Amino acid sequence: MQARGGLRLEGLVKRFGDVLAVDGVHLELPPGQLISFLGPSGCGKTTMLRMIAGLERPTEGRVYLDGEDVTDRPPHLRDIGMVFQTLALFPHLSVAGNVAYGMRIRGAPKRDIDARVNELLDLVDLHGLGDRRILQLSGGQRQRVATARALALEPRLFLLDEPLSALDANLREQLQVELRLLQQKLGITTIMVTHDQREAMTMSDLVVVMNQGRVEQVGEPLEVYRRPETPFVASFIGRTNILRGQVSDGVVRIAGRPFEVDRPLEPGPVAISVRPEDAHLQTTSTPETNALPGRVVFVRDLGELFECYVDCGLDEHVVVAGSPRERVNVVQGQPVSVSFPREACVVVEG
C-alpha cells in the first residue's frame, strides 16, 4: 500500500491582527511517520496544526497533501482525523454515536457502521462500551474514544492537539506508549502537537522544534538531543549548560580559558552546549583545555541521581549530573573544576 499523507508546507504565515503566530514555515514531512510539533506555549505549533487541518486559513503560503494543493479546501473535505485538546466529544451522543458520527453523516448502512464501530472500540481497548454516555467515562477512556472517532474513516492524516495534557502523569505515560504502538500498527501519518519534550522524544519518528512562530530544528529525537543547532533547542530538549565566550585568533575562549571544539569557527561571540551528564567534576587540578575552575554552590544527591551546581563565573551555574556510580564527594563551598570533553561540546551559536 502506498504511504499516504505526505505533507508539504510552503512559506506558511499566520497573522492574528497584530500578532504573528507563524512566521514563514517551510516543511516537507514524510508519510507514515509520527511527527511532533514541539515548543513552548505561544510558539505557533497549534496554529500550524490548525492550518494543516483547514480550521485556520494561512495569511500567506500553501499546504500540499500528497502533492495536491489543499490550502483552500475546507476541513470537511480534507480527509483528516483530529483529536482536540479538549477532546471535543459530543456530549449528546453515546460512545458509539461519537465514533460512528463520520460514517453516519455519509449515509453508510447501519450494519456496516455497527461492525466498524465495534472494530474500532476493540482497537482502542474499549470493547463493549458503545452504549455508555460520555459523562460516565474516565479521562483515559474519553481519550480513547476521541482516538477511535478520529480514525474511523481511515483518514490520510491523524492530527493530535496536545491530546494527553488533561491527564495525570501515570496515565499520560501509559497512553503515550499505546498511541505510538497504535500509530505504528496502522502506519498512519500522524502529526502531534505537544509542549512536553519527553512526550515528543518518547513517541516521535521526527521532531519539529518551534519557537516564536519559526522552526528551529527538524530531526530525529536523539539527533536533536545530541546535536542541537540553536541555544533554544539545546535548552528546551533536556537540560543543558550553555557556555558563552569569544573566538579570536582561531581560539575559543570561555571565561578566558581555551576550549577545543570539533569545527573551525569565525571570530566573534560563540555559545557551546554541554549536557550535564557529559560534564565531569574534578577535585584535583584544573586541566588546560575544556575546563573551568569554580566553587560548589549546591549538591543534590537524590539516590538514583547525583547533581552538582558549580559557580564558574558564568551567567548561570554549571550543572554536572551523573549516576550514583559517578558520584564525587564534594561539599558546599569546595573549590572544584568542571571539564567538558571535546566530543560533548556542541556549538549552537557562532
Binding site for another protein (CB under 8 A): 16, 19, 21, 47, 50, 53-56, 74-78, 80-82, 84-92, 101-102, 105-106, 149-150, 152-153, 159
Contact indicator for 208, 35 with CB cutoff of 8 Å: yes
Residue (85 or 282) nearer to another protein, CB: 85
Residue (105 or 302) nearer to another protein, CB: 105
Q: How far is the CB of 130 from another protein (least distance, A)?
A: 17
Residue (149 or 257) nearer to another protein, CB: 149
Q: How far is the CB of 94 from another protein (least distance, A)?
A: 13
Q: Buried b / exposed e across 266-276, counting CB within 10 Å, b at 16+?
A: eeeebbbbbbb
Q: How far is the CB of 161 from another protein (least distance, A)?
A: 9
User: Alpha-carbon distance 190 to 158, whole Å?
Assistant: 5
Residue (16 or 298) nearer to another protein, CB: 16
Q: In DSSP terms, which residues pair with 12 in a beta bridge?
A: 25
- Taking alpha carbons only, the member of 276, 208, 242, 230 closest to residue 30 is 208
Q: How far is the CB of 296 from another protein (least distance, A)?
A: 41
Residue (105 or 331) nearer to another protein, CB: 105
Residue (70 or 336) nearer to another protein, CB: 70
Q: How far is the CB of 154 from another protein (least distance, A)?
A: 12
Q: How far is the CB of 88 from another protein (least distance, A)?
A: 4
Q: How far is the CB of 58 from another protein (least distance, A)?
A: 12
Contact indicator for 314, 246 with CB cutoff of 8 Å: no
Using alpha carbons, list the distances in angstroms from residue 342 to 34, 258, 262, 291, 349: 33, 11, 7, 10, 16
Q: Residue 3, Cβ neighbours under 10 Å: how many?
A: 14
Residue (55 or 203) nearer to another protein, CB: 55
Q: Where are the alpha helices (DSSP H) in the chain?
A: 45-53, 95-105, 110-123, 139-151, 169-186, 197-203, 221-226, 231-236
Residue (74 or 269) nearer to another protein, CB: 74
First-last CA distance in the chain: 45
Q: Which three cell numbers stand for residue 213?
A: 512562530
Q: How far is the CB of 197 from another protein (least distance, A)?
A: 23
User: Alpha-carbon distance 100 to 113, whole Å?
Assistant: 6
Beta strand pairing status for 346-349 and 251-254?
unpaired
Q: Which three cell numbers stand for residue 30?
A: 514524510
Contact indicator for 82, 156 with CB cutoff of 8 Å: no
- Taking alpha carbons only, the member of 261, 211, 258 closest to residue 233 is 211
Residue (55 or 336) nearer to another protein, CB: 55
Instruction: Give the strands of the sheet with 80-83, arranged side by side.
Output: 80-83, 157-161, 189-194, 34-38, 206-211, 214-219
Q: How far is the CB of 9 from another protein (least distance, A)?
A: 18
Report the C-alpha dihedral over residues 104, 105, 107, 109, rounded to 10 degrees.
0
